[in-house]
Structure 1
Amino acid sequence: MEKKIIQVDEKVPVKMLIPLSLQHMFAMFGASVLVPFLFGISPAIVLLMNGVGTLVFIVVTKGKAPAYLGSSFAFLVPAGLVIEKFGYQYALGSFVAIGFGGIIVALIIRKFGTKWIHIVLPTAAMGPVVALIGLELAGNAASNAGLLDEVIDPKNVIVFLVTLGVAVFGQILFRGFLGVIPILIAIISGYVAAAACGILDFTEVVQASFFALPNFQYPKFNLEAIMTVFPALLLVVSEHIGHQVVTSEIIGRDLLKEPGLHRTLFGDFFSTMLSGLVGSVPTTTYGENIGVMAMTGVYSVQVIGGAAVLSICCSFLGKLSALISTIPGPVIGGVSFLLYGMIGTSGIRLLVDGKVDYSRSRNLVLTSVVFVTGLSGIALKIGNVEMTGMVLACVVAMAMSLVFYILDKLGLTNDQPQK
């Protein structure tokens, strides 16, 4: 019997809503909290604005695009340079500027539509780009699990294998409601295994207060700081388009058309602008949560909204936030190992469902070059922004596809289908 799909607009009872929402919150928590840690700020304000941003996104997209907005990694290098030279408040100003710039891009797309996407990113290019969203994160999952350390701790391996094993076999063996929360069960199982192995540290939980207000800060603006960060706009737009395509494939609805790419982009960048105004980091649609949807068949926006509300609550509950942050790396790594793979598989599924004809030379070279570009580790640096992985592969794919389109119009290509 196939697993029951819970579609985007379906409601779920409270007894299901809470664990399903917890599952999404746990999936994003590790990566989302890492960004403020690297910036040297409290994660509480980030949890607050990730939740607020997700709710804003749901409203802007009319509840038709399931996505959780977490902390973006695209700004780490340029924002780090701004923080070092000017201070964090000037980085906030650049986040506000990026958000405003993204809103302008959304309005342009609203005016001119999305047909250009199919020209610059045909299926033969989009498939590998989407796959790379998950595949290039594979190393992160292994690193979180401690599997890339010089000396591998057997305790980490045990916790990792317990978590991954429950996630994998739970997907196949669990029935009924348990079948839609295998990630949550895997995290709990991994946490219990970590406790049994003695690798949990509750020091922060003991020291944390029960209630705490997030640390609000306000932006300052400097043209040099803004221009240092602004090229990252290309990275986030490329990432956003890829996420919307893979989510569309998973849920069986074209989100580029309804609610429309302009709405999803607007929601994403408006959230980033709000975050910058109060002291948080830029947001982006999260691959971890896309993986949860792919694995569980639960696409309900109500569940995503529930996760956002829980995140907001955690931002004010110091003890709870600290307790969640004790989830060890091998648990996060074990879950991510499967979730990232699910995203990669979605890209391959795009190629299969799109019936890409690899007897045509252009399709063969597009997919080949995009995959190698994304996985090779090469980087292109523009100012202080470095493009690598999926983003660089996306730029290369768009450039190649645009050249092929022009050559087609000039009648110079030799692989046009016979009329």
Structure 2
Amino acid sequence: MKQERKIIGIQDKVPFGKLLPLSLQHTFAMFGASVLVPIIFGISPSIVLFMNGIGTLLFILITKAKAPAYLGSSFAFLGPAALIINNSAYGYPYALGGFVIVGLVGCLLSFIIKKYGISFIDIILPPAAMGAVVSLIGFELAFITITPGKIGADLSNPQGRIVFGVTLVTAILGSVLFRKFFATIPILIAMIVGYITSIYFGMVDIELIKQASLFTIPQFQLAKFSAIPILTILPVIFVILSEHVSHQAVTSSIVGVNLLEDPGLHKTLFADNFSTALSGFFGGVPTTTYGENIGVMAITKVYSVRVIAGAAVISILMAFIGPFAALINSIPGNVIGGVTFLLYGMIGTSGIRLLVEKKVDYNKSSNLILTSVVFVAGLSGLTVNIFGIELKGMVLASIVAMIISLLFYLFDKFNLLNE
């Protein structure tokens, strides 16, 4: 009889010998995307790695170690923040002020949710919409996996295709064939195999690692506040609210615990936004629970917050240890793309799993329309610009889902639906 792979639960203790590789696996998974945001903003990634680590540890503390999540750099702020950063009258310090205010408003929303509960979620994001939005977290990122760059594979040459293929195949086979402890680190093993393959093909500049300064100091800077930058960035709060709820829903589905109830949406939302406010105040970028790390948990069945905390500590150390950061920074996009090709697909499938587990009745036109419109809004490439904020992909789909869901709820209340 085949044995089921052992699940490492949310609060299970993990021996150090296993803790280190499991934590490194999460570090590798989040690194590429997390450092990309500060690179786009034109700041040093070291402050972001530091604040991401601090934010993750605070998240674990605030949620009493009941919700496994790694807080990485948020992409939701790129559009409006770029408007402020590129404005000669303001610049990055004033964008930081906007980050702080958005984080504080998010904290305020968490207190409102604590007082009035989470029943509103089934109104603005019922299962037919929630499942589709969760799927889009992974599916809309699929194109990045084969887009040449820091976190995507360049498949234009044979060497790149080989590295991508070796990494992906190792991740797939490792996930279904590895046993015992190796079954918990298939992504780490895949990245190591892919990295060695890329070294063989001369795709890694080892000299940059050798020349890196032994110690570095994160570049802290304080936020500045002004009305226009704050008002420009503030509408992002609607985006990160829907993103946070969706991430908690998919994580709940993966770990088998309703995190929206325990530790509660109010605690996870507060922790997430408090991290954003703190990071912005000291010069970092906004944070969010990371899909890459959710994908790692889905594949490995390792949900321990101690592992996540270990990844956070590694991130903090990387902010100060130059060669270590340089080593991880040298991982080619073909390797990152090889593992995210699988991770993003797993996240997308988790959304479909949510639809199945919630037994969504597609004989009802309202459910069929909800799921259909959300998928098309997210995957069609449709872009809507409101007050300088570009809405597309999962972000646009989430807002569309909430609007349609609310309308259908009101129609049902007044017995207007023909179902």
1:20-419 alignment runs, 5 A limit = 20-85=22-87, 86-144=90-148, 152-415=156-419
Could you tell me how far apart the structure 1 residues matched to 2:98 and 2:318 are?
Answer: 27
CA gap of 1:97–1:106, structure 2 versus 1, over 3 A, is same
TM-score by length of 2: 0.97
Give CA deviations for 1:127-168 in whole Å, capped at 9, x if unaligned: 11100000000011111479886x802111110000000000
Could you tell me how far apart the structure 2 residues matched to 1:137 and 1:41 are?
Answer: 24
Share of identical aligned residues, percent?
59
Give CA deviations for 1:18-40 in whole Å, capped at 9, x if unaligned: 00000000000000011111111
Aligned partner letter, 1:191: Y
SS in 1 for 2:284: coil
Give CA deviations for 1:369-415 in whole Å, capped at 9, x if unaligned: 11111101112211121111111111111111111111111112121
CA-based RMSD = 1.3
Shift of 1:203: 3.9
Could you tell me how far apart the structure 1 residues matched to 2:259 and 2:110 are?
Answer: 14
Could you tell me how far apart the structure 2 residues matched to 1:322 and 1:365 are?
Answer: 48
Aligned partner letter, 1:78: P
Structure 1 gap ranges (5+): none
Question: Is the contact made by 1:229 and 1:384 (CA closer than 8 Å) also made in structure 2?
Answer: no
Question: Is the contact made by 1:8 and 1:64 (CA closer than 8 Å) also made in structure 2?
Answer: yes
Could you tell me how far apart the structure 2 residues matched to 1:188 and 1:31 are?
Answer: 18
Could you tell me how far apart the structure 1 residues matched to 2:117 and 2:364 are?
Answer: 28
TM-score by length of 1: 0.97
Could you tell me how far apart the structure 2 residues matched to 1:36 and 1:235 are?
Answer: 20
SS in 1 for 2:216: coil
Structure 2 gap ranges (5+): none
Could you tell me how far apart the structure 1 residues matched to 2:158 and 2:35 are?
Answer: 26
Question: Is the contact made by 2:153 and 2:337 (CA closer than 8 Å) also made in structure 1?
Answer: no
Aligned residue pairs, count:
414
Structure 1: which 4+ aligned runs deviate by more than 4 Å? 144-149
